Amino acid sequence: MGIALPVLFALFAALSNALATVLQRRAALTVPQSDGFRFGLVLDLLRQPLWIGGILAVIAAGVGQAAALSLGALALVQPLFVLELPFALLIASLVGRSRLPGALWLAVAGVVVGLGVVLVAASPTGNRTHVPFDRWVLALVACAAAMAATAAVGLRRPPGRMRAGCLGAATAVGYALTAALMKSAVRVLDEDGIVGFLTVWQTYAFALSGICALLLLEHAMQGGPLVASQPALTLGDAGVSVALGVLLYEEHLRAQWWLVPQLLGLGLIAAGVFALARRGAEPGEPAAP
């Protein structure tokens, strides 16, 4: 199986998610803030056209992601979602009718080049289709615990970078788990059709995980600036997804001397992301405390 189609579908999904992030962030700023986790937040957001547009973009991203995961390895597809951050900042600058400084363009280039170096050097392979249930149990428990812990820390903080970053990290774990479960459910859909898809537990588990991640995302978007939540979300999603790909689906990354360019690429990505987080700000929004 080639990598062109899964990469194209993943890029489409990343772009759609970035658009959704910008729209949902702007919608979240128009509703009353809360100190804790509030399910009623979604009811408030349903009255916002921007939020509805963001949800439509999320649906489009989900379709693209499912197609990518059905064709490629989790460790190949999910790291491409790192591009959500530069995509989101570019879209936000267009929506806000402002120009990104040259330093931000350099940071964007660092993220893109670094991601390319990492993926070429790592060359993720393997596409196991059946995962033993005991592996799922360990993954579900670990991811649920990580989501709960980071969300609890974030919700104890006042609105700002720390709150948004922690909630963004919790969302990242939820998104990575959702992708891992989606990959399994899509495999059943491909092999057994819609009846099989609707009768396996992974279908309902990825739906539940996705809903939880979406709720966490809305609180992350409301809890602080985009440049605080988005790096935690995109980098966390990529990292956890690679780990799940290796542990659940037995995907393989090249080692030995290939680790050198992988580390250099990771350094470029990290430098670019943190430069975007330090210097970037959503157009029309004040810098975060």
For the chain, 289 residues long, give each residue's pLDDT as a single digit of tens. Answer: 568 889 999 999 999 988 887 887 676 655 555 544 455 555 666 666 777 888 888 889 989 999 999 888 888 998 998 888 788 878 877 877 777 777 788 888 899 999 999 999 988 877 677 888 999 999 999 999 999 999 999 888 888 888 888 999 999 999 999 999 999 999 899 888 899 999 999 999 999 999 899 888 878 877 777 667 777 887 888 889 999 999 999 888 888 888 899 999 988 988 888 787 665 444 444 333 3
Q: Is 186 left (phi over 0), alpha (psi -120 to 50) or beta?
A: alpha
Amino acid (one-letter) located at 243: A
> Measured between alpha carbons, how far is 229 from 85 in angstroms, rounded to an integer?
10
- What distance in Å separates the CA atoms of residue 228 and residue 274, rounded to the nearest whole number? 9
Helix (H), strand (E) counts: the chain: 11, 0
Widest pairwise Cα distance in the chain? 54
Residue 158, φ and ψ in degrees, nearest 5: -70, 165
Tokens of 287: 């810098």
Dihedral in degrees, nearest 10, Cα atoms 53, 57, 59, 61: -170
Which residues lie below 8 Å from residue 152, measured CB to CB, with a gap of 6+? none
* Predicted TM-score (pTM) of this structure: 0.80
Which amino acid type is present at position 264? L
